[in-house]
Amino acid sequence: MLTLALDTATPRTGAALLDGDRVLATSSALDPRRHAELLAPAVAAVLAEAGADRRDLRRVAVGVGPGPFTGLRVGVVTARTLGAALGVPVVGVCTLDALALGAARALEVPFAVATDARRREVYWAAYGPGAVRTAGPAVGPPASVPADLPVVGHGALLHALPGARAPEHPDPADVGLWVAEGRPVLDPVPLYLRRPDAAEPGARKRVLA
């Protein structure tokens, strides 16, 4: 099954094309302010590298966060638009899970994943061997991450958490591999763990009696 995998929940914008659990092509770029500009070229690049056409796709997988609001929506909206246009299913993957899947290839002990949530906070989750999630996802200060575990991800490196290590950002291919391995998936909607900074204005207050 030809699967297009996308992720824009971190500063990295990435796309990957997989045939089952075989990675055919990947493309990614690191720029936290240009997700919308970078994603379409990444999709085109992986299709061209594999000699495939969008009409060959049978599934779209997308990282649903948690992550910054604007960047996260780019990937989710793109995935859902492609799915609707092509008539193929779209599934969501927790971005922390995808990052953990990549980290688990080098770690055979329990570990945690932490990405940057801004506001001096991190998005984090804990995992057992094989990238089986045991806690989270959650958002909070860096001190909320279990201190007795090695921690991978940009949030760990940014805040110099004990045991911090690479990988720093998820590989888009791991979004697709998570699905190919039959692991739990989510609806393709953003996984928000806190309210956005912006809010609709309330009703105007009367100033005259």
In a domain, 42, yes or no: yes
The pLDDT tens digits for 44-101 are 999 999 999 999 999 999 999 999 888 999 999 999 999 999 999 999 999 999 999 9
Mean pLDDT of the chain: 92
d(CA 199, CA 186): 26
Whether 116 and 44 share a structural domain:
no
pLDDT at 116 over 70: yes
Shared-domain flag, residues 7 and 72 = yes
Same domain as 174, residue 81 = yes
Residue 87: CB partners within 8 Å, gap ≥ 6? Answer: none
Q: Which range of residues forms the domain containing residue 38?
A: 2-94+170-180
The pLDDT score that the predictor gives to residue 45 is: 98
Do 175 and 126 lie in a common domain? no
Q: Does residue 202 sit within a domain?
A: no
Mean pLDDT computed over 110-122: 95
Q: Are residues 22 and 81 in the same domain?
A: yes
CATH for 83: 3.30.420.40
In a domain, 24, yes or no: yes
- What tens digit of pLDDT does each residue of 156-172 get? 999 999 899 999 999 99
